[in-house]
């Protein structure tokens, strides 16, 4: 079958994978979620969120939440982080605990202000919302790191949430938090920074756990449905990798390529 | 006065170790790793006069590590008479990139406009990478100095990535990933990296899968590259300090474990 | 209407950008170029929000007396660079560039250099053989440090090879698995945004 001339044939595999992924997400979101219970395994870092905020309230110290320097608002990790922020803000509003949110991006700041304001309003405490606690500090990586470090050193927050996309500033922030004995819950999509967080923080959400976190905390069925979709896709990828390994082994044993298009 | 803790002594020790080794003038014998050798071979065996984009994807903070890395690659590329187009995806890397290109070009008698051009900074790195895949001229109507794109001999016939041999991303963060995810995946441009040591393991999976063609990592990579091109650029000296810091950290880990097990024994017997 | 319009714009552009990715027609490429141009223009305007917010926030805190010295220093730096740029420009050998090279760059390098000190303290505290997995982590860390420090070869010529094997196989396999998980998480989050069931980016409506 000939492909239309406007279609870039090199992207055919990507198109097929995209269509399969979209169908799985749409199916789990709109059909499966209606009648099924979604269960997510216990994620200790997320179970500790309430304790961390409670600790800050008891110690009369603020909670500091920052999304890292590496992301912008179009990055899915930042959006996932906003979902967790929404939950954290509901708790800090309820406990009347100060929430400080420094960021490196003006758009993230504007969205975070709206998210926090909405959360405070939702739980019935709009008067406790302080817009100047959610602030833009610097777009420069180490300007941002210095500013957040300064805030941690001066405010001595009892609990610190480092959730988003982090780069080299991760260990600087986590170690400063550790030096003031704050409970630290971290999570990022940067694989290299995960190792720093695991060493320096109390709890670390690894990669996809950040995306599952908002569904886990809020119980929102549409988000939990997409976590289910991820599991289905993971099984498909594992099967595909297995098939590729077997095929590749067969070809090696045969000593020749057995197909022109199925090549690894 | 604030009470000194164990970590303060750890800081002081590191300061002393690095300072003292920087004062020593010891030459370390370096053997090029396969990764560094692959980057060297790529630039060495490219046909003379190939066009490369050199992207300065770093901030001013990492200059001590980035300078030897960038200098080594630029020297090699200029020596092989490749045509270089300099860009920057982070504002702070813009002037640094321009200066480094000008310095290394001067060493090799390369002329601005014919042998290299510096296009400068464009905001929103993902948009900039994607836009260059469509048209470099539309993304950069002028060079860094304000001259029109079409004025330069080097840029005549350079429409998009199809006319580029590879992008050399000199990075201190994850920007090289965007070159791979958008430049390589979307437009098929070859991406090679020259990155800081902290970022090396981030790019291993891309290197193994072939999405990234070659990589030089950190001061060690710079020192190895300097040996390959036979010109010192500060990487070897920095590597000495780095090696001593590594040994110091190993000692700290051993000390930490001794302290941990002795405290456990004390608790157990008490 | 307040939320429907941005949701519709998001859906429209999400679908258009998805389709154009697979097209090689001139119209699709021109559309892509135009959208990317506007993306950069919009980004430039968002910086104004940041500049205004930074100024307002610091002035408010200074008037309240909170963290006054730090915020005054911040504001001086914030105002002085654009003033220098406006008067003398930003080309080489101008006061702006002098400040950039001799004040801003060293300050940033200093904060970056803190990382080395924190690596030392984190290693001292964190790498302890409390359990079998922790012991494996500890041994891997020691292997890596030795092999990357140029002295590994003095202990054993095979040490760098063993370290490279750890990096290229077990470590790489784990990182790939994490990357696949992150990729799928990003994909589903992006789809939720395009479909319109993820609305946090609009400011918190669930």
* ipTM of the complex as predicted: 0.89
Nearest by CB to residue A190, choosing from B7, B174, B188, is B174
**Residue that the structure tokens 């001229």 belong to:** B137
User: Residue range C169-197: average pLDDT?
Assistant: 90
Residues of C in contact with B63 (CB under 8 A): 105, 109
Residue-wise pLDDT tens digits, C62-74: 998 878 999 999 9
Q: Return the residue of B nearest to C122 by Cα.
A: B7
Domains and CATH numbers, chain B: 1-30+246-270 (no CATH), 31-233 (3.40.50)
**A38 compared with A45, residue with greater pLDDT:** A45
Helices (H), A28-139: 33-35, 44-47, 49-58, 76-95, 106-122
For chain A, the structural domain boundaries read: 44-218
Contact C108 A140 (CB under 8 A): yes
Give C25's contacts in chain A (Cβ within 8 Å): 6
Q: Cβ separation of B59 and A70 shorter than 8 Å? A: no
Q: Do B92 and A140 touch (CB under 8 A)?
A: yes
Nearest to C108 among A77, A142, A218 (CB): A142
Q: Measured between alpha carbons, how far is B65 from C108 in angstroms, rounded to an integer?
A: 13
Residues composing chain C? 206
Q: Does the beta-carbon distance from C201 to A137 stay under 8 Å?
A: no
Looking at residue A33, its pLDDT comes to 59
C18 to chain A, any CB pair closer than 8 A? The answer is yes
Contacts with B3 from chain A: Cβ below 8 Å: none
* Non-local CB neighbours of B264 within 8 Å, separated by 6+ positions: none
DSSP tag of A3: P
- For B120, the 3-state DSSP assignment is strand
* Sites in chain B below the pLDDT cut of 50: none
Mutate to test the interface with A, among B10, B174, B249 (most CBs of A within 10 A): B174
User: In whole angstroms, what is the distance from residue C149 CA to residue C146 CA?
Assistant: 5
Supply the pLDDT for residue A72: 86
- What are the residues facing A160 on neighbouring strands? A64, A184
For an interface test with B, the pick among A72, A105, A142, A168 (most B C-beta atoms closer than 10 Å) comes out as A168
Asked if the Cβ–Cβ distance from C36 to B130 is below 8 Å, we say yes
Taking the C-alpha atoms of residue A171 and residue A163, their distance in angstroms, rounded to an integer, is 13
C45 touches chain B (CB under 8 A): no
- Cβ of residue A167 closer than 8 Å to a chain B Cβ: yes
Per-residue pLDDT, A256: 82
Nearest to C90 by CA among B62, B94, B122: B94
- Is residue A179 less than 8 Å (CB to CB) from chain B? yes
Residue A41: predicted pLDDT: 85
pLDDT at position B33, please?
Answer: 84
Report d(CA C29, CA C40) in Å as an integer.
17
Q: Which CATH architecture has domain A44-218?
A: 3-Layer(aba) Sandwich (3.40)
Joined together, the tokens standing for residue C173 give 């396999």
C44, C120, C141 member nearest B123 (Cβ): C44
pLDDT, tens digit, 9 for 90 and up, residues A215-256: 888 788 888 888 889 999 999 999 999 999 999 899 889 888
Task: Check pLDDT > 90 for residue A82.
Answer: yes
pLDDT digits (tens, 9 = 90+) for C7-56: 999 999 999 999 998 998 889 888 988 888 888 888 888 888 889 999 99
- Which helix (H) or strand (E) element contains residue C113? helix C105-126
Give the distance from residue C105's alpha carbon to the nearest chain B alpha carbon, in angstroms.
Answer: 5
d(CA B249, CA C115): 13
* Class of residue A240 by CB neighbours under 10 A (exposed 0-12, middle 13-18, buried 19+): exposed
For chain C, the straight-line distance linking the first and the last C-alpha, in angstroms and rounded, comes to: 16
- A264 falls in which pLDDT band (50, 70, 90)? low
Residue B202 to residue A190, Cβ atoms within 8 A: yes
Q: Both tokens of residue A5?
A: 């001339």
CB A170 within 8 A of CB A188: yes
pLDDT at residue A37, rounded to an integer: 73
Mean pLDDT of chain A: 90
Residues in chain B within 8 Å Cβ distance of A142: 59, 61
Q: Do B250 and C129 touch (CB under 8 A)?
A: no
What per-residue confidence (pLDDT) applies to A106? 93
Q: Give A135-189 pLDDT, tens digit per residue.
A: 999 988 899 999 999 999 999 999 999 999 998 899 999 999 999 999 999 999 9
Alpha carbon dihedral B180, B183, B174, C47, in 10-degree steps, equals: -160
Q: What percent of chain A has pLDDT over 70?
A: 97
Q: Mind listing the pLDDT tens digit for each residue in C75-111?
A: 999 999 999 999 998 777 789 988 988 898 889 889 9
- Counting residues of chain B whose pLDDT is more than 90, the rounded percentage is 62
B11 at A interface, C-beta within 8 A: no
B148's tokens: 């029109």
B202 vs A10, A179, A191: nearest CB: A191
Angle between helices C159-168 and C132-148 (to 10 degrees): 120
Give contacts of C 126-185 with A, CB under 8 A.
126-127, 175, 178-182, 184-185
Rg (CA), chain A: 22
Candidates A136, A174, A230; nearest CB to C185: A230
pLDDT attached to residue B141: 94
CB-CB under 8 Å, C37 with B208: no
Answer whether B64 touches C (CB < 8 Å): yes
Question: What is the SS3 string spanning B162-202?
Answer: HHCCEEEEEECCCHHHHHHHHHHHHHCCCEEEEECHHHHHH
Dist CA A187 CA A210 (whole Å): 6
The shortest CB-CB distance from C185 to any of A76, A107, A136 is to A76
Q: Do B246 and C145 touch (CB under 8 A)?
A: yes
């Amino acid at each position: 079958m000939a492909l239309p001339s406007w279609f870039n044939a090199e992207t055919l595999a990507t198109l097929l994978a995209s269509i399969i992924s979209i169908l799985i997400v749409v199916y789990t979101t709109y059909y499966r979620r209606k009648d099924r219970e979604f269960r997510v395994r216990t994620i200790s870092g997320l179970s500790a969120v309430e304790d961390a905020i409670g600790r800050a309230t008891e110690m009369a110290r603020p909670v500091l939440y920052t999304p890292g320097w590496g992301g912008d608002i179009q990055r899915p990790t930042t959006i996932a982080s906003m979902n967790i922020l929404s939950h954290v803000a509901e708790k800090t509003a309820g406990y009347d605990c100060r929430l400080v949110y420094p960021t490196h991006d003006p758009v993230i700041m504007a969205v975070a202000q709206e998210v926090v304001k909405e959360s405070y309003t939702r739980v019935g405490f709009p008067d406790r919302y302080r817009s100047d606690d959610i602030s833009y500090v610097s777009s420069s990586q180490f300007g941002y790191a210095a500013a957040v470090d300064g805030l941690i050193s001066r405010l001595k927050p009892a609990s610190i949430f480092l959730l988003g996309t982090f780069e080299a500033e991760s260990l600087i922030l986590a170690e400063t938090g550790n030096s003031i004995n704050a409970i630290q819950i971290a999570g990022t999509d940067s694989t290299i920074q995960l190792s720093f967080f695991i060493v320096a923080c109390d709890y670390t959400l690894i990669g996809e756990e950040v995306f599952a976190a908002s569904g886990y905390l809020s119980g929102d069925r549409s988000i939990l449905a997409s976590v289910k979709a991820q599991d289905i896709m993971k099984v498909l990828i594992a099967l595909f990798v297995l098939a590729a390994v077997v095929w590749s082994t067969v070809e090696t044993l045969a000593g020749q390529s057995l197909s022109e298009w199925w090549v690894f | 006065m604030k009470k000194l803790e164990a970590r303060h002594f750890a800081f002081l020790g590191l300061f002393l170790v690095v300072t003292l080794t920087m004062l020593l003038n010891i030459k370390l014998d370096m053997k090029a790793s396969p990764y560094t050798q692959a980057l060297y071979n790529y630039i060495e065996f490219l046909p003379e006069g190939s066009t490369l984009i050199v992207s300065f994807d770093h901030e001013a903070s990492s200059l001590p590590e980035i300078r030897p890395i960038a200098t080594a690659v630029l020297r090699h590329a200029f020596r092989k008479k490749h045509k270089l187009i300099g860009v920057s995806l982070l504002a702070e890397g813009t002037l640094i990139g321009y200066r480094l290109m000008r310095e290394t070009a001067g060493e090799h008698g390369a002329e601005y406009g014919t042998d290299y051009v510096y296009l400068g900074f464009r905001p929103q790195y993902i948009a900039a990478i994607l836009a260059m895949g469509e048209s470099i001229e539309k993304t950069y109507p002028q060079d860094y100095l304000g001259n029109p794109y079409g004025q330069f001999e080097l840029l005549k016939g350079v429409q998009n990535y199809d006319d580029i041999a590879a992008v050399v991303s000199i990075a201190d963060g994850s920007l090289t990933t965007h070159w791979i995810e958008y430049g390589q995946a979307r437009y098929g441009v070859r991406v090679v990296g020259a990155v800081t040591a902290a970022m090396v393991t981030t790019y291993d999976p891309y290197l193994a899968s072939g999405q990234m063609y070659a990589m030089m990592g950190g001061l060690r990579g710079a020192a190895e590259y300097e040996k390959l091109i036979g010109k010192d650029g500060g990487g070897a000296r920095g590597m000495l300090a780095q090696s001593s810091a590594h040994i110091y950290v190993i000692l700290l880990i051993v000390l930490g474990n001794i302290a941990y097990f002795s405290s456990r024994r004390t608790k157990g017997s008490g | 209407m307040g939320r429907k319009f941005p949701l519709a714009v998001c859906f429209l552009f999400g679908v258009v950008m998805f389709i154009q990715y697979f097209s090689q027609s001139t119209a699709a490429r021109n559309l892509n170029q135009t959208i990317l141009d506007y993306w950069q223009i919009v980004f430039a305007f968002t910086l104004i929000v940041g500049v205004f917010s930074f100024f307002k926030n610091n002035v408010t805190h200074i008037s309240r007396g909170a963290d006054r010295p730090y915020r005054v220093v911040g504001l001086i730096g914030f105002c002085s660079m654009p003033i220098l740029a406006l008067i003398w420009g930003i080309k080489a050998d101008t006061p702006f560039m002098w400040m950039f090279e001799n004040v801003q760059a060293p300050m940033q390098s200093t904060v970056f250099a803190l990382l080395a000190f924190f690596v030392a303290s984190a290693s001292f505290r964190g790498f302890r053989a409390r359990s079998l997995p922790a012991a494996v982590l500890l041994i891997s860390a020691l292997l890596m440090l030795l092999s990357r420090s140029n002295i590994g070869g003095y202990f054993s010529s095979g040490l760098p090879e063993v370290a490279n094997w750890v990096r290229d196989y077990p470590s790489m396999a784990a990182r790939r698995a994490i990357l696949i998980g992150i990729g799928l998480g990003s994909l589903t989050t992006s789809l939720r945004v395009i479909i319109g069931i993820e609305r946090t980016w609009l400011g918190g409506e669930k």
